[in-house]
Amino acid sequence: MAEQTGNHENGAFERAVRTAAESGTDKPMVSNTKSNKQAPVVDEKPTDSPDLLSMYRRMVLCRALDERIWMLNRQGKAAIMASSQGHEAGQIGSVEALKKGYDQFYIYYRDLAVLLELGLTPTEIIKGFVAKEGEPLSGARQFPTHGAHPEYGIINLSNVVATHIPQGVGAALSAKMKGEDRVVIIYFGDGASSAGDCHEAMNFAAIHKLPVIFFCENNKYAISVPLKNQMAVDSVASRAEGYGMPGIEVDGCDITAVYEATFEAAQRARSGQGPSLIEAQVERYLPHTSDDDDSIYRPPEEIEEAKKRDPLQMLKDLLYSSDTLDEEQEDLINKDARQIVNEATEEAENAPYPATNDFYKHVVGDNPA
Amino acid sequence: MTEMILRDAVAKALREALDTDDRTFLMGEDIGAYGGPYAVTRGFLEDYGEDRIRDTPIAEAVFVGAGAGAAMIGMRPIVEVMTINFSLVAIDQIVNHAAKLSYMSDGQLSVPLIIRTVTGGGGQLAATHSQSFENWYASVPGLRVVVPATPQDALGLFRTCRKDNNPIIFAEHSLLYRVRGEVPDEYYEIPLGKARIARPGDDVTIVSYSGMVRVAEEAAEKLDELGISAEVIDLRTLSPLDLDTVVESVKKTNRAVVVEETWKTGGFSGTIASNIQEVAFDELDGPVLRINGPDVPAPYARNIEQAMIPSADWIVESVTYNFGL
Ligand SMILES: Cc1ncc(C[n+]2csc(CCOP(=O)(O)OP(=O)(O)O)c2C)c(N)n1
Ligand SMILES: [Mg+2]
């Protein structure tokens, strides 16, 4: 049981674990192998003109799912939630420009839409929040939305801010050394851009011309700390020059602008021209997480103002203006999303909690590289 | 006496520092307008201004390192690292530098820096947000490690920390902020390196610190129902360490259990247990027991997490099982 520690089994914890195992009252954990997951679809070549209507449908779903998880938190069922509302265009637009199932995605806690885009189902995602058996990223061991799904190229292990940025750079180094034309996109916030890990990773990636896209979702806050107390410049992208890579500022609420900027950066990366830093200016509509009260530090008018750039509304307006969407269709899309989310919630809530008889499983790695 | 929660006791200690020493200022993430992630510094920005209550970027290495730098040149900074987990980002500044500057400068410099931080698990914050590293820091010469378990201790110990000329890890357990307790109205200090007998008893000594003191007290109550009288010792500070109080108690009870939230391997409970055996072997009626969390990262799922944190029931079970009481 405790072989990796050299500890005696003379403690109450060890005895309790052994008794539970022997009596067989506790059923084993669902296997953490990915056999129950569908094989990813590899997008060989992203289209030059993305299907905006389809992206709208996915954005509606993400928003509905996000709202539902927030509600589950308020009902005491999900311990913590960092909302993606206001970030969706940045997330969906960037994934659309990359090769799903091939490129790698080093994401952070706010990237709900990225998870959905890459293939996680709403049920799987909700299971992570309500900590249920069969949660595919970490077996409900790690923070919601955290863990890994290598088949989908998803790596999101830690929520110590910015620690994934050097790791993404390492993945890009490996792609380059293996001669693959894989691109690694690393998502992070404006706050994370102050961390030493971020600066060191950018410098390193630029020196070695690594196939990385540094994708900063700038919502102008690190929890309560506004941009002016985080950096003396007004643009994260402006720092790129100092590292020796292109820095691109883009309206992160405009899904086509994000798509285009990411597509270009991906081409640069794939063709050996090295990293790029994209700063997507997004909005955060809700508090930092469900544990936060933003009324203490954020005037409501500011949020109202930000909502004028709601990425969902902006995409909808675009679709209406090109006659790609009408009211009937819009209602249908909304209804569909609600239904998917309702069913997912029910399924996740009905799933059992993870069993408590395999505490030590995977503490020491046994997965061959 | 005034009843207050631990959060308010820490806030009172910080206000005293700011009110009486103009060399003192605060730095940390979200301590300004937000009032601190655990609401300890609420209202401070309004009362003391941006100069002395500084919100920092997410860059622990710089604000801890800068804190040490300011401290060695005559300031008395207090920095807040949001949780002890993130102190690892600054651990070079803490362990390689702040802790050793006095020694490395042959005593010419000292680093009177207080690093306040939040420790412990139990809040479903998972593997990288639920750890307690007080035991690691306690192993570093030159660092002081203070781990209050009550509002009265938090205030009294902090007052002493302010007069100390060494870098101090002042670790507040996240689940203790709302714990209530009586705090004397008249000024008092609590020395570093003086343990507290949280509950007197005769049959077994339970040693603990920080969040585990309450668990030990709960166990003592349960043991009492079984006719076993347990003495609970709260270490209060891991460095300096008060072994005398522990040994005195063991001489009386002849049995000892050390309870700690973090992993067993390398746990501070090992230091306590070996010290007891070294100096009081002949007094013991049985082995010194160590009750720690298992050597596993903290899980998110509540049912698993709860099953892994030392509980009063574990203590009761261990005491009755191992000592045949
Ligand atoms: C090293 C470290 N320090 C502090 C924290 C606490 N923390 C979590 S999220 C966060 C703010 C991050 O802001 P940003 O990078 O802008 O992302 P956003 O949440 O705004 O999307 C902070 C300070 C942490 N997780 N890790
Ligand atoms: Mg931000």
Residue type, A109: Y
* Residue pLDDT, tens place only, A265-316: 999 999 999 999 999 999 999 999 999 999 999 999 999 999 999 999 999 9
The residue extents of the domains of chain A are: 50-350
* Residue pLDDT, tens place only, A21-50: 777 555 544 444 444 455 455 655 565 678
Output the pLDDT for position A358.
87
Spell out which residues of chain A touch residue B265, defining contact as CB-CB under 8 Å.
5-7
Is B188 inside any structural domain? no
Distance (Å) from the alpha carbon of A93 to chain B's nearest alpha carbon: 27
Q: For residue A218, what is the enclosing H or E element?
A: strand A212-218
Indicate the residue of A5, A14, A297 with minimum beta-carbon distance to B265.
A5
Is B143 inside any structural domain? yes
Give me the mean pLDDT over the B74-97 stretch: 98
Whole-angstrom distance, CA of residue B155 vs CA of residue B11: 9
Same-domain check for residues B136 and B200:
no
Ligand 1 atom closest to residue A162's alpha carbon, by position in its atom list: 1
Residue for token pair 């830690």: A158
Length of chain B, please? 325
Q: Which of B129, B263, B300 would you mutate first to test chain A, the one with the most A CBs within 10 A?
A: B300
Average pLDDT in chain B: 98
Average pLDDT in chain A: 92
CA-to-CA dists, residue B171 to A242, A314, A356, angstroms: 38, 47, 30
The contacts of residue B106 (CB under 8 Å, 6+ apart) are none
Q: Which residues pair with B234 in a beta bridge?
A: B196, B208
Q: Is B206 helix (H, G, I), strand (E, B) or coil?
A: strand
Give me the mean pLDDT over the B283-309 stretch: 97
pLDDT of residue B279 exceeding 60, the answer is yes
* Residue pLDDT, tens place only, A93-142: 999 999 999 999 999 999 999 999 999 999 999 999 999 999 999 999 99
Output the pLDDT for position B208.
98
HEC profile of B52-92: CEEECCCCHHHHHHHHHHHHCCCCCCEEEECCHHHHHHHHH
User: Quick check: B294 contacting A, CB < 8 Å?
Assistant: yes
Q: Which residues line ligand 1 (CB under 6 A)?
A: A 110, 159-161, 188-192, 217, 219, 221-223, 284, 288; B 29, 58, 60, 82, 86, 89
Joined tokens for residue B132: 């307690």
For a ligand 1 pocket test, name from B58, B81, B86, B93 the mutation site with the most ligand atoms within 8 angstroms of its C-beta: B58
Output the pLDDT for position A324.
96
pLDDT of residue A226 exceeding 90, the answer is yes
* Residue pLDDT, tens place only, A317-341: 999 999 999 999 999 999 999 999 9
Q: For residue A199, what is the enclosing H or E element?
A: helix A196-207
Give me the mean pLDDT over the B9-35 stretch: 98
Same-domain check for residues B8 and B156:
yes
* Residue pLDDT, tens place only, B174-216: 999 999 999 999 999 999 999 999 999 999 999 999 999 999 9
User: What is the chain B residue with the closest CA to A79?
Assistant: B124
Same-domain check for residues B213 and B178:
no
User: What is the chain B residue with the closest CA to A359?
Assistant: B296
Give the CATH number of the domain where residue B108 resides.
3.40.50.970
Q: In this prediction, what percent of chain A has a pLDDT beyond 90? A: 83
User: Quick check: B125 contacting A, CB < 8 Å?
Assistant: yes
Output the pLDDT for position A26.
54
The DSSP secondary structure of B220-282, one letter per residue, reads HHHHHHTT--EEEEE-SEEES--HHHHHHHHHHHS-EEEEEEEESTT-HHHHHHHHHHHHHGG
CB contact under 8 A, B296 and A363: yes
Whole-angstrom distance, CA of residue A148 vs CA of residue B131: 21
Write out the catalytic residue numbers of B.
Answer: 60, 129
CA-to-CA dists, residue A45 to A93, A102, A270, B1, B319, angstroms: 15, 11, 12, 72, 65
Q: Is the peptide bond before B167 cis (omega within 30 degrees of 0)?
A: no
Q: What is the value of pTM for the model shown?
A: 0.95
Whole-angstrom distance, CA of residue B195 vs CA of residue B244: 9
| C-alpha closest to that of A168 among A158, A241, A178 | A158
Is the Cα dihedral B84, B86, B90, B95 positive or negative? positive
Joined tokens for residue B296: 């596993």
- Structural domain for B131, as ranges: 2-183
CA of A338 to the centre of ligand 1 (A): 31
Same-domain check for residues B163 and B296:
no
What CATH class does A50-350 carry? alpha beta
Indicate the residue of B29, B129, B264 with minimum beta-carbon distance to A225.
B29
Is B190 inside any structural domain? no
Same-domain check for residues B174 and B128:
yes
Same-domain check for residues B38 and B96:
yes
Whole-angstrom distance, CA of residue A10 vs CA of residue B259: 14
Output the pLDDT for position A46.
60
Output the pLDDT for position A35.
42
Ligand 1 atom closest to residue A192's alpha carbon, by position in its atom list: 15
Is B50 inside any structural domain? yes
A193 neighbors A231 (Cβ within 8 angstroms): yes
Indicate the residue of B55, B58, B307 with minimum beta-carbon distance to A195.
B58
User: Quick check: B302 contacting A, CB < 8 Å?
Assistant: yes
User: What is the chain A residue with the closest CA to B295?
Assistant: A5
Q: To 10 degrees, the CA torsion angle through A200, A204, A207, A210?
A: -140
Whole-angstrom distance, CA of residue A202 vs CA of residue B304: 38
Q: For residue A186, what is the enclosing H or E element?
A: strand A184-189
Q: Which of B80, B84, B304 would you mutate first to test chain A, the one with the most A CBs within 10 A?
A: B304
**In this structure, are strands B230-234 and A221-222 parallel, antiparallel, or unpaired?**
unpaired
Whole-angstrom distance, CA of residue A308 vs CA of residue A311: 9
A162 neighbors A81 (Cβ within 8 angstroms): no
Residue type, B305: E
Residue for token pair 């589950």: A72
Tell me if ipTM is over 0.90: yes
Indicate the residue of B34, B129, B307 with minimum beta-carbon distance to A223.
B34
Same-domain check for residues B160 and B213:
no
* Residue pLDDT, tens place only, A235-251: 999 999 999 999 999 99
Indicate the residue of A5, A12, A353 with minimum beta-carbon distance to B301.
A353
Distance (Å) from the alpha carbon of B226 to chain A's nearest alpha carbon: 18
Distance (Å) from the alpha carbon of A112 to chain B's nearest alpha carbon: 18
pLDDT of residue A1 exceeding 50, the answer is no
Same-domain check for residues B247 and B140:
no
A112 neighbors A81 (Cβ within 8 angstroms): no
CB contact under 8 A, A195 and B59: yes
Q: What is the domain count for chain B?
A: 2
| C-alpha closest to that of B38 among B131, B211, B175 | B175
Note which residues in 273-292 of chain B have CB less than 8 A from chain A.
Answer: 289-292
Spell out which residues of chain B touch residue A232, defining contact as CB-CB under 8 Å.
none
pLDDT of residue A152 exceeding 90, the answer is yes
Same-domain check for residues B276 and B149:
no
| C-alpha closest to that of A165 among A204, A123, A220, A113 | A204
CB contact under 8 A, B321 and A15: yes
Give the CATH number of the domain where residue B279 resides.
3.40.50.920
User: Quick check: B39 contacting A, CB < 8 Å?
Assistant: no
Same-domain check for residues B205 and B285:
yes
CA of A111 to the centre of ligand 2 (A): 12
CB contact under 8 A, A138 and B300: yes
Output the pLDDT for position A258.
98
Domain end: B158, B183, B208, which one? B183
CB contact under 8 A, B307 and A356: yes
Domain end: B183, B218, B244, which one? B183
How far is the first Cα of chain B from the last one, in angstroms, to the nearest whole number? 39
| Nearest CA residue ID for atom 11, ligand 1 | A222
Whole-angstrom distance, CA of residue B303 vs CA of residue A356: 7
Same-domain check for residues B123 and B209:
no
Write out the catalytic residue numbers of A.
Answer: 284, 288, 297
User: What is the chain A residue with the closest CA to B291?
Assistant: A11
Is B174 inside any structural domain? yes
Same-domain check for residues B151 and B212:
no
Give me the mean pLDDT over the B256-285 stretch: 98
Output the pLDDT for position A9.
57
